[in-house]
Amino acid sequence: MPSAAGPGRVLTAVDRLEHNAGLDGIADSVRRVVRGLPLGRGRDALHGRWLGHPVHPLMVQLPVGSWFSAAVLDLLPGQLRGARALIGVGLAAAGPAAVAGWVDWAELQRQQMRVGLVHAAANITAVALYSGSLAARIRGRSGLGKALGFAGLSAVSLGGALGGHLAYRQAAGANHSEVVPHLVTLGWHEIGAVADFPVGQAVRRHIDDVTVLVVRESGNKVHVLADRCSHMGGPLTEGVIADGCVQCPWHGSVFRLADGWNVRGPATAPQPAFDTRITDGHVEACLRLDETRAGKETDAA
């Protein structure tokens, strides 16, 4: 007999948060500020393009780990100095982690941004509480310092839970093209006659269950990429084709047509690319696999 149980109170509350349009005005204002920051190439570095995935989750390990360790020391006798030092380290590391988080947040979808606002609010509350905790400890008020520290740990734990919801339930920061190699069968696939693809224009086609972007250059050189952007699934066929690249119309990620490399973020993962050939006037495409994955696919076959 199927269970009648549905979402509990926690999931129900977060679901309401996702659909709370009352947060959109604040979100739009903050997003304009974040996007207006003169970060230059540093923006891609903060996104984590150099790492291959968002850098924010890596950066938050230092403040969260420091504060949790401080809480453990607060439960032990004679560890006031160590706990105070760890709280200071956490506060120093929280700023850079927050900047990376805001830069990622400004390129999310509406429902993700709503949850992200509350995630940030919880973490800002934690920083305020830990700042008060550090100040109290410096003044010799260790009891108050401990109380504020445990309150800060509760706030940052709430923020972490919402961050997990963003990452795992809402797929913020995930590679939205990772599934492509698992949906396309090995081998060559005919996608149309050469004449079906005007030079320099984006054309949408399907290979198995995957939508692809097809662009023909002069000289009948054809490029094929997975159509859905690895950042948030935007349709690349609706983007701008220029200088051998395609720009996603949703958040501006730029991918090289020749190999799918993410030339500019916020995308941190490249776009799946296909090798192409022309046979009897028809374009055929074959998913381009890296050596490791190709070996696994061959073994599975």
Give the pLDDT confidence of 57-92 residue by residue, as tens digits.
999 999 999 999 999 999 999 999 999 999 999 999
User: For position 163, what pLDDT does the model report?
Assistant: 97
Which distant-in-sequence residues (6+ apart) come within 8 Å of 2 by Cβ?
none
User: For position 187, what pLDDT does the model report?
Assistant: 96
Which structure tokens are listed for 36?
Answer: 């207006």
Give the pLDDT confidence of 7-45 residue by residue, as tens digits.
888 889 999 999 999 999 999 999 999 999 999 999 999
- The number of CA neighbours under 13 Å toward the Cβ of 1 is 2
User: For position 294, what pLDDT does the model report?
Assistant: 46
User: For position 4, what pLDDT does the model report?
Assistant: 66
Angle, vertex CA 193, rays to CA 188 and CA 196, nearest 5: 125
Helix (H/G/I), strand (E/B), else coil: 297: helix
User: For position 192, what pLDDT does the model report?
Assistant: 96
User: For the chain (length 301 residues), average pLDDT per consecutive 10?
Assistant: 74 93 97 97 96 96 98 96 98 98 97 98 98 97 98 98 96 96 96 95 97 95 98 97 97 98 97 97 92 43 39
Q: Measure the CA–CA gap between 298 and 301, rounded to whole angstroms.
A: 5
Q: Name all contacts of 22-27 with Cβ < 8 Å and 24+ positions apart.
A: 23/113, 23/114, 23/117, 23/118, 24/110, 24/113, 24/114, 26/117, 27/110, 27/113, 27/114, 27/117
